[in-house]
Structure 1
Amino acid sequence: MCDDDDIRELLAVAEASPNDALPLAEQLIAAYPGDARLHFFRGSLLAGSGRPIEAHASLSRAVELAPDFALARFQLGFFELTSGEPVRAQATWAPLSALPDDHYLRQFVTGLTHLIHDRFGETIAALESGIAANAETPPLNHDMQLIIDQCRPLLDPASETEEASPTSFLLGQLGRGSLH
């Protein structure tokens, strides 16, 4: 396992100079290939820099190495959802149903599952509940708030278009966004 000081350094580099974080993450992975946190971080960096195939591989590796790493599992499923693979996302998230009902990740999964089925009111309620419970990963709250903001106008059926379902449109917008 990578030393916590090295993890803190990686996080500091990512905050100060994101372009320098990926090479450092790869160096640390070479030294500690079994550390799921490093693979998760690398996957997040790759997703943010528009390299989805590599991002998916890194996030998947993090979950393979640490199946109980709930945040990595959530992010892998979120990445799959925003890549247009809702069934795969739900399968990835399935073990998160063991989390307590009021855990923020479980609330986020509940909200995103409602989104998959175009239940926008339920989506908003669950995501807001998750945001209220999440003090651990604030950047994730930003992503969930973006979804809420896109869902609010969709509560009015008159705003839907005939060309694409609201969920397809929303997921297309998120796919161009960030992954924290």
Structure 2
Amino acid sequence: MNNATLSILDQTELFQLALNASSGGDSASTIAYLKEAVSRSDASANAHYLLGAEYAQIKLYARAIDEMEAALALDPALGTARLQLAMLWLGQNENERAAATLRPLEELGEQEALHHFGAGLLRLIGGDSAGAIASLERGIGLNLAVPPLNGDMQRIIAQVQAMSQAEAAGEGAAPEEGGQHILLSAYAGNQSN
């Protein structure tokens, strides 16, 4: 694919080709299609969001944060971008930014998975491990729209439980893998969008 080919594609075509490339594990093509899409004046929030998710997959977290923020600037109601941006902020130990990003999810109804995922992460920030786990599990039970988020939340629950068991056994908190924050480690484990 060259620049001339990319330039004749419209937003819908670029986005669909990016989805196809992403589902095939082709990060380079996914990023190329999405970078073209977001460079245009008619860029969509979803294109920024998917580019941010792709950057997170390849561990370019600063770029992922920038794209998630761009997605939310275009569409503040894009809840999955909001949740994933908060997870990225938490991975950077930016708890206040993460909490501010998550708070709008509280406005969603009790039957919305994102409401419970946001509440769970806010409880985790506040040090309420049991409450966090309960909220995350409730969100998993409700989430049918974005199944990969369930895997992220299950990894967070497993890590919180492991840390709680280590603390109960008097071992203190388990060391974070490679210095990564618990949430970033769980988020980075997600291999699908």
Q: What TM-score, normalized by structure 2, do the two folds share?
A: 0.81
Is this contact kept in 2: 1:153–1:159, CA < 8 A?
no
Is this contact kept in 1: 2:113–2:143, CA < 8 A?
yes
Alignment of 1:145-156 (within 5 A): 145-156=154-165
Is this contact kept in 2: 1:39–1:58, CA < 8 A?
yes
Unaligned runs of 5+ in 2: 1-9
CA distance in 2, matches of 1:159, 1:172: 21
Structure 2 counterpart of 1:26, from 17, 28, 35: 35
Secondary structure class of the residue paired with 1:31 = coil
Matched pairs, number: 176
CA distance in 1, matches of 2:71, 2:111: 25
Deviations 1:8-65 (A, max 9, x none): 3221111112332111111122235531111111111111111121111111111111
Is this contact kept in 2: 1:111–1:126, CA < 8 A?
yes
The residue identity in structure 2 corresponding to 1:158 is A
CA distance in 2, matches of 1:90, 1:73: 11
- Identity among equivalent positions (%) equals 27
CA distance in 1, matches of 2:74, 2:168: 46
Deviation at 1:104, TM superposition (A): 0.6
Structure 1 counterpart of 2:16, from 8, 29, 32: 8
Segment drifting more, 24-33 vs 89-98? 24-33
Residue number in structure 2 paired with 1:36: 45
Note closer, same or farther for the CA distance 1:33–1:124 as it changes in structure 2 (3 Å cut): same
Residue number in structure 2 paired with 1:98: 107
Is this contact kept in 2: 1:2–1:32, CA < 8 A?
no
Residue number in structure 2 paired with 1:158: 168
Q: What TM-score, normalized by structure 1, do the two folds share?
A: 0.86
Is this contact kept in 2: 1:36–1:63, CA < 8 A?
yes
Note closer, same or farther for the CA distance 1:161–1:83 as it changes in structure 2 (3 Å cut): farther
Alignment of 1:165-176 (within 5 A): 169=176, 172-176=181-185
Secondary structure class of the residue paired with 2:11 = coil
Deviations 1:62-81 (A, max 9, x none): 11111111111121111111
Residue number in structure 2 paired with 1:50: 59
Deviation at 1:161, TM superposition (A): 4.4
Alignment of 1:73-92 (within 5 A): 73-92=82-101
Segment drifting more, 55-64 vs 25-34? 25-34
CA distance in 2, matches of 1:23, 1:34: 14
Deviation at 1:159, TM superposition (A): 3.7
Residue number in structure 2 paired with 1:67: 76
Deviation at 1:84, TM superposition (A): 0.8
C-alpha RMSD of the superposition: 2.3
The residue identity in structure 1 corresponding to 2:16 is R
